[in-house]
Amino acid sequence: MSNKSFLIKTFGCQMNDRDSEIMGQLLSEDGYIETSETDQADLIILNTCSIRAKAEQKVMSLLGVLRKHKKRNPKLIICVAGCVAQQEGQELIRRMPHVNLVVGTQNIYHIVQLINSLGKHEVATTLVDNYSIPAFIPNLKQHNVGGEPEIFRKFLTIMQGCNNYCSYCVVPFTRGREVSRSVSHIIEEAKSLIKGGVKEITLLGQNVNSYGQTNSVTEPAVPYSFAELLRAVAKIDGLKRLRFTTSNPKDLSDDLMSCFAEIDILCPQFHLPVQSGSNAILTAMHRRYTRELYLEKVTALRKYCPEIALTTDVIVGFPGETDADFEDTMSLLEEVQYHGSYSFKYSDRPGTRSADFENKVDEKIKSERLARFQKRQDEIGLAYNRGYVGKTIPVMIERNEFDKMVGRAETNHLVHFTDLSSCTVAGDIIDATVTHAGQHSLQGKLPGKD
Ligand code: 5AD
Ligand code: SF4
């Protein structure tokens, strides 16, 4: 046991958020105490992302700052975890000798043992094909990295890695081959979360639609599709809301789409990354679907669930993207009318196929395209948000402090309340009448109040 303090700084996606939570739980179980003060920490973990060059640069510059902390406090242990750790391995310690430990994505469950057996430097970044996510320890104390008391809303990792090898993407190299967790472990973990007060679960994987097609070696084949898994999780007593992310359109089955009509607690919200509206670019990206197939899926989803809030990811300036290709992305945006989107300038990543493509797009053109896409998306998103004004919608309260009440709509919008309810606690679902729409959030009041 230890009474040392730790600080985890998380970059990147929700997989990393969940991994940070797990590392935090494991450290807390070992007696570590969390701190938010860099100066007070005995152990600092950076859980890193390498999806784009910018994400990696952020980590490197923070490591530069930490070098000074280490000079003041030579006993400070600096650990780099996550995707940059996986990708750089030994090289990270060569470039940053003040880093004590490099922990790859498949080794986070061993964080305590690794720290306890730390010599001068350690590197644990082996990626193995027969990787399995350990069965979760059910009664582990709930831990919230960052101190946000969000115990009613949690992520649950159902699979790791990715086999798709989109030509721009580093994930198969940083998270390894796709592995599905067993249904029994997922259900067990969901039950334990709910027992601990969780009301909303988001099932997480790089490509949840292919759940069950790739199995962990520790269990026989998973006899469940993702749709069947959703139905099984939805049946657990006490769960109020269910979400999932992320989906690859090529694997999106009709059975899964029909769940939106069938499962009451499945929130009407879907993140369906398109990446580009041009078939030529989709082929070069190795996405294995066409614009037409994508649009068919969108139509089907809206048939099952007309109010569904659709979001997407878009990359602009992929190698070889012409003006006409980009116009295809703009016209797809007009056709689909997303509630929101995450859009990025293409960035070369080491080891990916597109890094070697020759016809790279000029940075200035990428920036212009990104700005144009985002401007139009903002207009569409705001128009959607304005459409909620005057409607009464269910909102799950996230925080209710003496002067501030904030909740989340089923569509994932944050709802700020203009009046307060003293008998409402975080995790309750209440009806709210939307009074005002902003670009990224809504404002609401309790029904019947003026
Ligand atoms: N360059 C730019 N954006 C990327 N993404 C993934 N790889 C790259 C890259 N090399 C984006 C995709 C993905 C999201 C998580 O990040 O849009 O869906
Ligand atoms: Fe970033 Fe991808 Fe790793 Fe998530 S899985 S942290 S998005 S590189």
The residue whose CA has the least distance to atom 7 of ligand 2 is 13
Q: Where in the chain is the domain with CATH 3.40.50.12160?
A: 5-124
pTM for this predicted structure = 0.93
Q: Which ligand is nearest to the CA of 171?
A: 2
Return the pLDDT at 399: 85
Return the pLDDT at 147: 47
pLDDT digits (tens, 9 = 90+) for 251-264: 999 999 999 999 99
Q: Does the beta carbon of 105 sit less than 6 angstroms from any atom of ligand 2?
A: no
Report percent pLDDT > 70 for the chain.
Answer: 93
Q: Residue 286 above 50 pLDDT?
A: yes
Residue 120: pLDDT band (50, 70, 90) is confident
pLDDT digits (tens, 9 = 90+) for 325-339: 999 999 999 999 999
The CATH architecture that domain 392-445 belongs to is Beta Barrel (2.40)
Residue 300: pLDDT band (50, 70, 90) is very high
Q: Where in the chain is the domain with CATH 3.30.750.210?
A: 150-267
CA of 349 to the centre of ligand 1 (A): 10
Return the pLDDT at 138: 46
Query: Among 76-80, 107-111, 134-138, 297-301, which is the least confidently predicted range?
Result: 134-138
The residue whose CA has the least distance to atom 13 of ligand 1 is 313
CA of 341 to the centre of ligand 1 (A): 12
* Reduced 3-state DSSP string for the chain: CCCCEEEEEECCCHHHHHHHHHHHHHHHHCCCEECCCHHHCCEEEEEECCCCHHHHHHHHHHHHHHHHHHHHCCCCEEEEEHHHHHHHCHHHHHHCCCCCEEECCCCHHHHHHHHHCCCCCEEECCCCCCCCCCCCCCCCCCCCCCCCCCCCEEEEECEECCCCCCCCCCHHHHHCCCEECCHHHHHHHHHHHHHCCCCEEEEECCCHHHCCCCECCCCCCCCCCHHHHHHHHHCCCCCCEEEEECCCHHHCCHHHHHHHHHCCCECCEEECCCECCCHHHHHHCCCCCCHHHHHHHHHHHHHHCCCCEEEEEEEECCCCCCHHHHHHHHHHHHHHCCCEEEEEECCCCCCCCHHHCCCCCCHHHHHHHHHHHHHHHHHHHHHHHHHCCCCEEEEEEEEEECCEEEEEECCCCEEEECCCCCCCCCCCEEEEEEEEECCCEEEEECCCCC
Residue 172: pLDDT band (50, 70, 90) is very high
Q: Where in the chain is the domain with CATH 2.40.50?
A: 392-445
Q: Residue 247 above 80 pLDDT?
A: yes
Q: Which of 313, 342, 345, 352 should be mutated for ligand 1, with most atoms under 8 A from CB?
A: 313
Residue 376: pLDDT band (50, 70, 90) is very high
Q: Which ligand is nearest to the CA of 321?
A: 1
pLDDT digits (tens, 9 = 90+) for 75-115: 999 999 999 999 999 999 999 999 999 999 999 999 999 99
The residue whose CA has the least distance to atom 7 of ligand 1 is 169
The CATH architecture that domain 150-267 belongs to is 2-Layer Sandwich (3.30)
Q: Does the beta carbon of 155 sit less than 6 angstroms from any atom of ligand 1?
A: no
Q: Residue 309 above 60 pLDDT?
A: yes
The residue whose CA has the least distance to atom 1 of ligand 2 is 49
The residue whose CA has the least distance to atom 2 of ligand 1 is 346
- Report the CATH superfamily, name and number, of domain 5-124: Methylthiotransferase, N-terminal domain (3.40.50.12160)
